[in-house]
Amino acid sequence: MTEERGFEPDVIAYSTVLDCLCKKGLLKEAHGLFFEMIKKGSKPNVVTYSILIDALCKQGMISKAEDIVGIMTKQGIKPNVVTYSILIDALCKKGMISKAENIVGTMTKQGIKLDVVTYSIFIDTLCKMGEVSKAEVVVDAMRKQGIEPTVVTYSTLIDSLCKNGMVSEAEFIVGTMRKQGVEPNVITYNILMDSLCKISMVSEAEDIFGRMRKQGIEPDVVTYNTLMQGMFQLRRVSNAYELWRKMLASGQVPNLVTYSIFLDGSCKNGKLEMALKVFQDMWNSRLQLDTIFYTILIDGLCKAGHIEVAKELFCQLSVSDLKPTVYTYCIMINGLCKEGLPDEAYRLFKSMGDNDCLPNSCCYNVMIRGFFRNDYTSKATPLLTEMVASHDHFISDDSHSSIGLPSDEEQDWGTENDMLLILCLFDTEDSAEERKSSSPLEVPAYEYVYDAAERLQGPEGSSVELTVQTGPEIKHLALTQAKISLNPVKSRLCEVPGSEKNYPKIGYIKLTSFNQKASGIETAKIWLDKGVIVYICDNHGVRDIYDTDGSSAIAASEPLAVLVNMDTASASEILTGALKDNKRAVLFGEPTYGKGKIQSVFQLSDGSRLAVTVSHYETPANNNINKVYF
List the one residue out of 146, 92, 51, 76 whose CA is nearest residue 104.
92
The answer, yes or no, to whether residue 86 has pLDDT greater than 80, is: yes
Q: Are 630 and 580 in contact (CB under 8 A)?
A: yes
More confident residue, 2 or 60: 60
What pLDDT does 367 receive? 86
CA angle 274, 277, 282 (to 5 degrees): 125
Measuring CA to CA, how many Å separate 177 from each of 85, 164, 171, 182, 256? 25, 20, 10, 5, 33
Between 416 and 98, residue with greater pLDDT: 98
Mean pLDDT of 29-34: 82
Sign of CA dihedral 237, 242, 244, 245: positive
In this model, does residue 259 exceed pLDDT 50? yes
CA distance 328 to 347: 15
Identity of residue 152: V
User: pLDDT value at position 498?
Assistant: 56
pLDDT at residue number 341: 93
**pTM exceeds 0.75, yes or no:** no
Instruction: Report d(CA 516, CA 522) in Å as an integer.
Output: 9
Pairing outcome for strands 609-618 and 531-538: antiparallel
Q: What is the pLDDT of residue 420?
A: 61
Q: How far is CA 376 from the centre of its chain?
A: 37
Give yes or no for a contact between 504 and 420, defined as CB atoms under 8 angstroms apart: yes
Residue 224 has pLDDT above 90, yes or no: yes
Instruction: Determine the Cα–Cα distance for residues 141 and 146; give it in Å rounded to an integer.
Output: 9
Mark whether 570 is an active-site residue: yes
Q: Is 416 helix (H, G, I), strand (E, B) or coil?
A: helix
Mean pLDDT, rounded, of the chain: 78
Least confident of 118-122, 200-204, 495-499: 495-499
334-389 pLDDT, tens digit per residue, is 899 989 999 999 999 988 888 778 887 778 878 887 887 788 877 877 777 676 55
Residues 156 and 187: their CA atoms lie apart, in Å, by 10
> How far is the C-alpha of 169 from the C-alpha of 177, rounded, in Å?
12
pLDDT at 456: 67
Q: In the predicted model, is pLDDT for residue 504 greater than 50?
A: yes
Query: Looking at the predicted structure, is the pLDDT value of residue 9 above 60?
Result: yes
Q: Using 50, 70 and 90 to split pLDDT, how confident is the model at 59?
A: confident
Q: Clarify whether 595 is annotated catalytic.
A: yes
CA distance 168 to 251: 33
Rounded Cα distance between 260 and 256, Å, is 6
Task: Provide the pLDDT for residue 455.
Answer: 63
Minimal CA–CA distance to 360: which of 413, 299, 319? 413
Residue 21: CB atoms within 10 Å: 21
Residue pair 291/326 in contact by the 8 Å Cβ criterion: no
Q: What is the pLDDT of residue 186?
A: 92
pLDDT of residue 454: 59
How many CB atoms lie under 10 A from the CB of residue 97?
20
For residue 450, what pLDDT is reported? Answer: 42
Which residues make Cβ contacts (< 8 Å) with residue 89, sequence separation at least 6? 57, 121
pLDDT for 382 equals 79
Q: In what helix (H) or strand (E) does residue 601 lie, and over which residues does it extend? A: strand 597-603
* Cα Rg of the chain, angstroms: 30
From 128, 379, 517, 595, active-site residue? 595
Is the pLDDT assigned to residue 393 strictly greater than 70? no
Is the separation of the CB atoms in 426 and 565 below 8 Å?
yes
- Cα separation, 584 vs 562, whole angstroms: 10
Catalytic residue list contains 109: no
CA distances from 296 to 46, 267, 312, 324, 476 (A): 56, 8, 14, 12, 66
Give the type of residue at 262: F
> What's the CA gap between 459 and 454, in Å, rounded?
12
Sheet holding 560-564, edge to edge: 489-494, 505-511, 419-424, 560-564, 586-589
DSSP string covering 431-475: -HHHHHTEEEESS-TTS-HHHHHHHH--STT-EEEEEEEETTEEE
* Per-residue confidence (pLDDT) for residue 343, from 0 to 100: 93
* The most confident of 124-138, 229-243, 401-415, by mean pLDDT: 229-243
Q: Of the listed 120, 303, 581, 615, which one is catalytic?
A: 581
In the set 570, 572, 580, 615, the catalytic residue is 570
Position 399 pLDDT exceeds 70: no
Looking at residue 485, its pLDDT comes to 63
Give the highest mean pLDDT range of 35-44, 49-58, 596-605.
Answer: 49-58
Report, as an integer, the average pLDDT of 392-418. Answer: 36
Q: Does the pLDDT of residue 409 top 60, yes or no?
A: no
- Burial (CB count <10 Å: 0-12, 13-18, 19+), residue 324: buried
CA angle centred on 364, ends 358 and 369, rounded to 5°: 155
Check residue 452 and give its pLDDT. Answer: 58
Summarize the confidence of residues 540-555 as an average pLDDT: 78
- State the Cα angle at 78 between 73 and 81, rounded to 5°: 125
- Residue 438 or residue 54, greater confidence: 54
Range in 23-32, 277-286, 530-539 the model is least confident about = 277-286
Spell out where 44-90 has E strands: none
Asked if 576 and 425 count as a contact pair (C-beta separation under 8 A), the reply is yes
In this predicted structure, the answer to whether residue 411 has a pLDDT above a threshold of 50 is: no
Q: Which of 423, 413, 408 is nearest to 557 (CA)?
A: 408
Give the pLDDT of residue 226. 92
Could you tell me the pLDDT band of residue 579, with boundaries at 50, 70 and 90?
very high
Cα dihedral angle (158, 160, 164, 170), rounded to 10 degrees?
Answer: -10
**pLDDT for residue 347:** 92
561 pLDDT higher than 80: yes
CA angle 471, 474, 480 (to 5 degrees): 120
| Residue-level pLDDT at 515 | 59
Q: Which of 51-65, 268-282, 340-354, 446-460 shows the lowest per-residue confidence on average (mean pLDDT)?
A: 446-460
CA 600, CA 604: separation in Å to the nearest integer?
A: 13
